[in-house]
């Protein structure tokens, strides 16, 4: 049965590799296999173009980071969030959501000072390079 779901997902993603809800569905059957979930999320964030995405592309990055958080690997969750804030999202709200999710993760782990530093970084004036990319 799981194999059939995987094959159906493959077909749907071949038709539209930028389908965010289907990317989430593809990771669900592997909830008991962390390695396979990591590979699925890695493939998703590498192949999906946020500008062509159907759905909210930032949710893939957030789910990926939460996967690491769930397995008490905060260092890798931080790496995922660092990569997520570098993505050129369709809407600025998506980037803001990534920053907020990252801050909430820090709060969940009682890292109050780190949360404050992160929010200062998130609200600082962006560099010229980022302004040209985002605005």
Q: What is the pLDDT along the chain (135 residues), one digit of tens a residue?
A: 467 777 777 777 888 888 899 889 888 888 889 999 999 999 999 999 999 999 999 999 999 999 999 999 999 999 999 999 999 999 989 999 999 999 999 999 999 999 999 999 999 987 777 666 665
Domain range holding 124? 2-134
Number of domains in the chain: 1
Query: In CATH, what number is assigned to the domain containing residue 10?
Result: 1.25.40
| 98 to 6, 10, 131, 134: CA distances (angstroms) | 28, 27, 17, 15
């Amino acid at each position: 049965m799981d194999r059939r779901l995987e094959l159906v997902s493959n077909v749907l993603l071949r038709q539209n590799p930028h389908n965010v809800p289907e990317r989430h569905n593809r990771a669900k059957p592997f909830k008991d296999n962390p390695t396979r979930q990591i590979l699925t999320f890695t493939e998703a964030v590498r192949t999906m173009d946020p500008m062509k995405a159907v759905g909210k592309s930032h949710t893939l990055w957030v789910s990926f980071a939460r996967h690491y958080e769930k397995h008490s690997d905060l260092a890798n969750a931080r790496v995922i969030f660092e990569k997520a804030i570098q993505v050129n999202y369709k809407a600025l709200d998506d980037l803001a959501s990534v920053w907020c999710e990252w801050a909430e993760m820090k709060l969940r782990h009682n890292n109050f000072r780190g949360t404050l530093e992160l929010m200062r970084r998130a609200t600082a004036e962006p560099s010229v390079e980022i302004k040209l990319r985002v605005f």
